Amino acid sequence: MSHPELMRQWRRPAEAELPLPWAVCSSPIPSPLPVLETISKATSSLQALPRSCSAVPRTCLGRMKLLAVLLAASLLSTTAHGAQAPQQDKPPQTCLFQPLSSEDSKFCRGDLEVVYPELGDVGCTYIPQCHQYRRQISRAWGAPRVRYPRAEQDKKYLLVLVDPDAPSRANPRNRFWRHWLLSDIPGADLRSGDIKGQVLTAYGRPSPPPRSGYHRYQLLLYQQPAQEAIALSPREQGSRGAWPMESFVERFQLGSPVASTQFLTKHYED
């Protein structure tokens, strides 16, 4: 047979006759590689075909390598751009309890403790906004625990809670706003912090009006004279605002408070 005839009988197979990469093996090609596996590992794993695979033409093997490279590159790109890193837990919000100014802190003397839930002793501090503490103290929490470690067990005391900044510190025309008034408190109760006494004015939560700035909430503890029956006048009972506290103290000869403290807060939406 002449050389031209041999050339006519041999021809390069058409592209359609070349075996497809996924049709070469009698067993399926392994599932896509893990996303973080490198491209070099992807190509080497495809070269190590099972024994049941037929001989693969070099052109087909090249295409398989190319598909492996493209697949690995696509998966790596998806991870880099589309996958989101797992969200880490947010660190807890830190609450800063700001002490009062030197001028306001002068009111705090005698180790009188005023304890609210979650906050602890708020004496001589600003109520922080975090965790909605200003809303809690104005809308949710009841009367605080009041403790005075120096109280004499056989004595009785009177406790006052007033706002001298009603309706605002710049214009305190309703000073003093009476929030709480207890008489006949046993000294033993004050030492433990679980106070009981004669309720002359039920506890009213500190509730500064909107846009009125910070209000001072002042607690004053008086030692009650023996055998002294303390009561509000009918006029005083009719209103909490514009209470003449100095006249009340003078009328019952209470003298100077044995201890006092205050905290500052403002409207929870300000």
Looking at residue 10, its pLDDT comes to 41
- Under DSSP, the state recorded for 162 is E
Tell how strand 259-265 and strand 215-223 pair up.
antiparallel
Distance CA 147, CA 115 (A): 8
Looking at residue 226, its pLDDT comes to 87
Distance CA 214, CA 166 (A): 10
Structure tokens at 18: 């070349």
Q: How far out from the chain centre does Cα 220 lie?
A: 32
Looking at residue 96, its pLDDT comes to 82
Looking at residue 88, its pLDDT comes to 53
Structure tokens at 12: 């390069």
Distance CA 218, CA 213 (A): 16
Residue segments in the chain with a per-residue pLDDT below the cut of 50: 2-40, 42-56, 58-61, 78-86
Calculate ∠ Cα 81-84-86, nearest 5°.
155
pTM of structure = 0.66
Closest CA to 179 of 166, 160, 165: 160
Distance CA 70, CA 52 (A): 25
